[in-house]
Structures are given as C-alpha cells and as structure tokens.
Amino acid sequence: MQKAERLSPSETLSTVSEFLSCMLRFLFQIRSGAQSVDTSTVHITQSVQYLSLFPHSQPLHAYSVTMASSCYLAVLLVMLGCPAALSHQNPGIGKGNKHGLADMLGLDPDMSLDLLHSEPTIFGTRQGRMRVSCNGETVEDHVSDYVKRNNNTGRELQKEYMRSSRSLRVEDGEVRVVEEVSFLFTNEVDVVRGVVVIDACNGQQLEERNMKAAIDEKHRENQESNMETQSRQRRGASKTLSDCLTGTGGNSMLGPVNFGDGAYEVCLVVEQSGGESEFGRVLSGREEGGCFGGSPISFTCSEGPDDATENGGNSPSLDVAFGLQTIFRVFREWYDMEAPVPSPTACVHYGDNLNNALSVGEQLLFGDGLLGFSAPFTTLGAVCHEYAHLITEKYSNLQHDGQAGGVNDAFADAFSRACRKFTGIDDTWYEGSGLLVNYPQGFRCYADPTFDGFSIDNLSDYEAGMDSHRSCGIFNKFFYCLTETQGTTTIRDGFLTYLLANELFWAPDTSFEDAACGILRSSVLAGVNTESVRTCFGSVGVSLDSCSLDSVEQVLSEDDPRRKNVIVSATVNPYFRVRASDGAGFTVKTNPDVTIMVSTGSAYAEPEVSGVGKVKFNGDVDSDVFVRLQGSSDEREQVDIRVKF
C-alpha cells in the first residue's frame, strides 16, 4: 500500500469542494447484508467490495479511480472505523488514522472527522454526513471570552440560550474550522438573535451579523407597534393534570378546537399530578418564574387552564400542548422515528402582546398578539413552524438571512403544512391562517406566493438582502407544485425529501440551487418521483442541471444483483440502475404484489416492459437501464429485489 499523497491547496479545494460546502459531511452507504450497525459504531463485517462507492458500481480493485473518488473512499472507510491509506492504483484498507486523512485533505493536524448524522433509506442502506472538529474539543472558553469582551450592548444577554455550530471554510486553499455563535438579546417585547463567527481553534473573531444596531432597531419598532397595549393581570392555576383532558383551544378566526374523549373531540394527552409529558413542557409568561425559569403550567382535569386572551384565543397553552403532541405523532406515525429535538420547552404569553413566535435554543416562545391586529401566535401551524427551526439548528444550521434564510423558512412552512395535513386541522395551502385580522385566511400562499404583494415565487426575482419570509415563496411554490399538481407525491413524502436534505445535504450557507439539489438527492432516497422534482423546481427558476445523483443512486450488477428490505408503496417508488455486461438482458424478481417497470434513459421514462412480481428484459440497448418498483397500496411494505443476468 502506497502512502497517501498530500494534495496541494488548490487540488484539495477542487477535489472536495462539493463536500466542503456541507462541512465535510460526506455521504456514505452501508449495504444491508454487507454491514452491521452497532449502537455506538458502524463497522464492516464482510468484504468491502460490496460497498457501492463510485458511479456505476466500480469495484474497489478498479485501476481507474479518480482522486475525488479516492478521497470519498477514505472518508467512508474512516466513518466505518477502518483507518485508510490510499493508492491511486489500488485503493483499499491500510494502516493509518483520521489524522492521516486530514493531512491528505489539507487539514491541520488538530482537526478530525466525526460522524454527525445517519439515517436509514428505503433501499435498506444508511446515509450519513460528517463534520470536522478541532481537537475534539468544544469552544466554550473562546465563546466565554468573546462574551466578556463584547457584553456591553445595554441589553440582557441570555447566555443559557446561546447557540453555536461549526462549519468549514476554504479560503485561499486553506481549510479553517469556524464556529458560528448565536446570542439571544431580550427586551420587554421581543427577542433578537445576533451572530458572530470565530475561529474554532483560536477564538479570533472573523465576522459579525445582526448585533447591536439591529437589536436597537427591532426594539424601536416594537415600542411603536405595541404603544397602545396594556399589561394583564397574572392568573393563578390549580395543581393537577389528566389524560385526554377537557378544554377548548383555537381562536375566534379559526374556530374552536374541542379537546376531550368524545367522538368529535381531539384527545390531548397530558400527565397527571406533576408528571412530565414526553412531548415537551409548556410554561407561561404569566406565572412565577416566567418563560426562563418557571414551572410547567397546571390546571384541573375537568376545567382546563384559564388562560384565554382578549383577542380571541381560547387557550394558548392548550394549543401549544396540542402542537407539541402533533409533532411527535407526525414523526412516529409518518416517519417511524423520534422527533429530532426531544421534549422541547415552550412558553406561552411571552412578552407584552408580542405579535410573533420564535425559537431560541431548544425553547419555543409564543406571543399573545394584539387586540384588533392578531390572534395569539399559537396555532398548530405556528407551533410546527417554530419547532422546525429547532430541527434546522440541529441538522444543517441554515443561516437566517440570504438564500439560506429563504430555505430555512420554507422548510419550517413545509413542516407546518405536514402537521396540518396530518391532523386535518387548517388543511389549506395558506400559511399563517387565523393569525392576522387583515389576513384571516393566511399571510403566505403556497400556490401563489406573490398574492401578498411582497413575496416572490421565482429565483429570477430574488435580490440580495431580501427578507427570508419573502424569498421562501420560491420553495413554497415548489412544494405546492410537487405535492398538489404532479399526482404522485403526497405531502407526507414531499416533506420527507426536505427532512432528509436538511439532515444530510444542506449547509449553513446553502444557496437555493444547492438546497434544491439536496432535495433532488433526497427524493431518490425517499422514492419520490425525481422528474416531478425537476419539473417543479424548473417552474420556479431553479436549475438542477449540475446536480449529480451518483452518490445516492443504487446500482444492481452481476457482482451485486440483490437488495433486501426495500420499502415500497403506491407512492414510494424506489428505482435502481441496472448495469449488465455488453447490454445483455436480465430478469427482475420481487414480491408477487409489486409492479416492476423497466425503462431506458430515465427511471421515470415510459417503461419498455412492466409486470407484477417478475419481468424479463431482453437488453441490447445503448443507454442506461432503470428498474422501478411500485407497491399495490398506500401501506408501506418491505420487499426484496433480485436481478438475474
């Protein structure tokens, strides 16, 4: 085995630019049957030749391996716990370590690669991403020093809600790990997030965004808008909680939501006598300790909480509790996973008639709104929207401004839409329904984002510095197109492409085109029609011409002809590239109730041949051949597929 060759800075940037843009969180695939997954590590139990690392399933002993593929292989092997050294002629497993790989990529010796997230896919594989860290240490000391040097803004700095995340920058061929630190500044009526970027290894400040000037401006705006508000009397509450409680949520614009165990009531599950709900904690700004130190609200089983508002909110606390319960049900029942951010803390009646809701760290804050202007910002859509920002902070940490900010808010809107579809409550294509008096139907429209006179629905209309709530219209219209007009993708499956893209492909400074490419790649992993994704992104001016699917497409070949535990349904349609020697024919076999479609040129082209359970394809074609599976019902099932050449 030859010693790994160190790349020049320019070669490093060229070779791994696609990966560096997302914090070196490289994709990897762990093939069922070839690998086993332990709870703490991922390791190889059979020959690595079963791993599809390269386009067209090149075997690992292939001579013609590009440097990019070699780097990709090295990262994969490190992720699998197999230290790798690379040879251009014979890549494989050798004796080395992560620092050797970091050296090859041009990283400093104190930088290392760590597995960040991984998720199972419909193909029976796992897909994951990596990140770079500096000595495996946190940077709290650097952050603390920065706070001491800069905590003179005249506002209260909530250190306990300070958020930081790491990313990778390549400048002039030099790789640098940076930490983006988010500070929370509060006043009586609002919360503003300021951001500084520091070098994760030495604490040097590199960039500053949205600090004191923006905070003062926000404070002035809120003073003007809330000038006529009045303070409320704090209300007491009693001490017990019960399963399937009785109470009424909703507001005067959306109508009431009746909670209880009756035939036409919604069961809101809470805990008895001081127990803590698995869905999260709901606090109140009206109670002792408030939002940043109080205890969960409590009330009698038969009466529910007494926290109605003068602007038509029946019970903001019940609305938020129901929203948290819905979130956890969506992830468990739709996506067979736990909610990404478990047991968040939410606080209602925050501020003084605050016309907003926001997420801070792992806490959600909801204002009551203002009589004559808005209802409490605690509708189901608002709760799910804010929770989605917690997901984004955990996964990709998308910025809140620029194009990434538009993607950030579009992701939150899409999750709101998924929650509302799941429950059937406020099941419309408007966002913000029942919040603003002048826009009772909602203030953002998916089908026509421009209806408000401010939002845009095409990338060609985007301008630098545009507010994220305006630019999110691009992806909102895409989401409407994909799940409403194409006829094959449900809201459930459509949001899954967003969720996977957020976890696996997006980065803090993702552009609209990069984010769209992540969704296209995720559509392969989710079994969503990729041609529909291309069509709908084209309709909003987002190009996918440079988006490669080589890293996510599955390939069946004579050396690797079978997959197990593939998930299919009427709407989840996984596809495979089939590569046969000299264009030879083949036979595809799967479960007897599953439709097989064989096409050429594209996975979603008109099938050359199709059938149920078993199909024979004669071959003799020059173009790529694709096999797509479709289940017989909306119920998901696991099937095996085998190609005989």
Least confident window among 78-82, 134-138, 373-377? 78-82
In a domain, 18, yes or no: yes
CATH number at residue 257: 3.10.170.10
Between 407 and 487, the higher pLDDT residue: 407
Q: pLDDT digits over 163-204, tens only?
A: 556 666 666 666 677 777 666 555 444 455 566 777 767 667
Residue-wise pLDDT tens digits, 601-641 = 899 999 999 999 999 999 777 778 999 999 999 999 999 99
Residue 231 in this model has a pLDDT that exceeds 60: no
Residues 488-503: tens digit of each pLDDT:
899 999 999 999 999 9
Q: Pick the residue with more confidence: 338 or 85? A: 338
The bridge status of strand 575-579 relative to strand 554-557 is: parallel
Q: Are 512 and 593 members of one domain?
A: no
User: What mean pLDDT is reported for the chain?
Assistant: 75
pLDDT for 302: 67
Bridge-partner residues for 445, per DSSP? 430
Cα–Cα distance, 596 to 573 (Å, whole number)? 10
640 located within any domain: yes
Q: How many structural domains does the chain have?
A: 5
> Would you give the distance in Å from CA 557 to the centre of its chain?
33
Please give the model's pTM, rounded to 2 decimal places. Answer: 0.72
- What's the 3-state SS for 522-582? HHHHHCCCHHHHHHHHHHCCCCCCCCCCCCCCEEEECCCCEEEEEEECCCCCCEEEEECHH
Give the range among 70-79, 242-251, 273-282 with minimum mean pLDDT. Answer: 70-79
Asked, for residue 395, whether it belongs to a domain, the answer is no
| Domain identity same for 260 and 210 | no
The dihedral through the CA atoms of 602, 603, 604, 609 has a sign that is positive
Residue 393 domain flag: no
C-beta of residue 478 within 8 angstroms of C-beta of residue 501:
no
Q: How far apart are CA 500 and CA 395, in angstroms?
A: 10
Task: Evaluate if residue 9 carries a pLDDT over 90.
Answer: no
| Position 61 pLDDT exceeds 80 | no
Q: Predicted confidence band at 560 (pLDDT cuts at 50, 70, 90)?
A: very high
342 shares its domain with 221:
no
438 and 508 fall within a common domain: yes
Residue 560 lies in a domain: yes
126 and 200 together in one domain? no
Clarify whether residues 531 and 406 are in a common domain: yes
First to last CA, the chain: 34
Q: Which amino acid is at 266?
A: V
- Tell me, what's the pLDDT at 160? 40
Give yes or no: residues 300 and 183 share one domain.
Answer: no
pLDDT category at 121 given cuts 50, 70, 90 is confident
- R_g (Cα) of the chain, nearest Å: 26
Average of per-residue pLDDT across 245-249: 89
The model's pLDDT over 29-40, given as tens digits with 9 standing for 90+, comes to 333 333 322 222
What is the residue range of 267's domain? 247-363+372-378
Cβ atoms of residues 249 and 255 within 8 Å: no
Cβ distance 195 to 179 under 8 Å? Answer: no
Q: Is the separation of the CB atoms in 385 and 393 below 8 Å? A: no
- 260 falls within a domain: yes
Q: In this structure, is residue 545 part of a structural domain?
A: no
Residue, of 295 and 237, whose pLDDT is higher = 295
Taking residues 442-448, what's their average pLDDT? Answer: 96
User: Are 202 and 279 in a shared domain?
Assistant: no
Confidence at 120, pLDDT banded by 50, 70, 90? confident
For range 351-376, the mean pLDDT? 92
| CATH number of the domain encompassing residue 519 | 1.10.390.10
130 contacts 113 by C-beta, under 8 angstroms: yes
Say if residue 50 is in the same domain as residue 123.
Answer: yes
In a domain, 391, yes or no: no
CB 448 within 8 A of CB 454: no
> Domain boundary at 75, 110, 134, which?
134
